[in-house]
Amino acid sequence: MHTRDSLVQDLKRVGLRSGDLVMVHSSMRSVGPILGGPNEMIEALLESVGPGGTVMMYVDWEDGAQSRTRKDLDTALPPEERSAWPAFDVTKARAARSYGILPEFLRTWPGASRSGNPGASVAAVGARAEWICADHPLDYGYGPGSPLAKLVEARGRVLLLGSPLENVTVLHFAEHAARLPDKRVIRYEEKLLRDGRAEWVEIEEFDTSDPVVEAAPDDHFDGLMRAYLDRAEGLVGQVGGARTYLFEAEPLHRFAVRWLEEQYGGRP
């Protein structure tokens, strides 16, 4: 079984450093059995970045992830269902299970911060956690002012622990920034808890549930990341049993914007 110490050594060999701001995507099944379970994976990540570092993860919202398409403004909920629908409480709303088990462990970690956009929500622990999660816009929650934009601005890093290349969430910020024709926009409602009262709020954003433009295939993020790896960008290693990649967020963002524009924006 892997231990906290062995995972810390693996993370250091991959290139994680003290003081890093790192967004983590994980498959604990790929990492393999850990003595002490997922808590020790969180401890290993926090130990690796040290007290001056920050670990963040995309958490979304379990209830919202299951129902967001049903709340599209073109498909109104029946009044009784609308009334009973759970409100997003930033302190209690569970992380979406489709992103693995580790985000919920980070969300509930002592001292964790969590951003206030239900669908684009992230959790973070560490020196910059409050800053990362503060003032998350409701409209276009993957764009300017979002935790993803702050990750790029702060020249943070992206760590994939056995997670597929297509799961790099910061690429949604590149989709927002890229000059692409006819980006798909979605408008929907979320029920939010504000000052102890539940209220429905209309939200608008580029649709991230599918490629943002019709011309892009479903696996376009995988193609983008493989093109980036072909440039010998990023660090590759092993953490536990998981093939692991470590990327610098800012150059990845710049590459992704240009790649998307070249592929789907008519840019020469």
Cα of 264 vs its chain's centroid, Å: 23
Report pLDDT for 78.
75
From the centroid of its chain, how far is CA 120?
Answer: 7
Q: Is 84 helix (H, G, I), strand (E, B) or coil?
A: helix
Can you give the pLDDT at residue 69? 46
Would you state the pLDDT for residue 117? 96
Give residue 70's pLDDT. Answer: 46
What backbone torsions phi and psi does residue 105 show, to the nearest 5 degrees? -65, -40
Instruction: Note down pLDDT in tens along the chain; length 268 residues.
Output: 999 999 999 999 999 999 999 999 999 999 999 999 999 999 999 999 999 999 999 999 987 755 554 445 556 677 787 788 889 999 999 999 989 999 999 999 999 999 999 999 999 999 999 999 999 999 999 999 999 999 999 999 999 999 999 999 999 999 999 999 999 998 888 889 988 899 988 899 998 888 899 989 999 999 999 999 999 899 999 999 999 999 999 999 999 999 999 999 865 4
Helix (H, G, I), strand (E, B) or coil at 134: coil
DSSP assignment letter at 208: -
| Residue bearing tokens 């980006």 | 183
Tokens for 44, please give them.
């290993």
Q: How far apart are CA 41 and CA 7, in angstroms?
A: 7
Contact 242, 248 (CB under 8 A): no
Q: Report yes or no on whether pTM surpasses 0.75.
A: yes
Alpha helices in 50-170, H assignment, sequence order: 62-67, 79-84, 102-107, 129-133, 147-153
| Cα four-point dihedral sign 137, 141, 144, 148 | positive
Tokens of 96: 């979406």
Cα separation of 35 and 32, whole Å? 10
Q: What is the pLDDT of residue 54?
A: 98
Q: In whole angstroms, what is the distance from residue 148 CA to residue 84 CA?
A: 32
pLDDT value of residue 63: 77
Backbone phi, then psi, for 266, in 5-degree steps?
75, 15
**SS3 labels along 34-56:** ECCCHHHHHHHHHHHHCCCCEEE
* Sole residue written with tokens 């983008």: 224
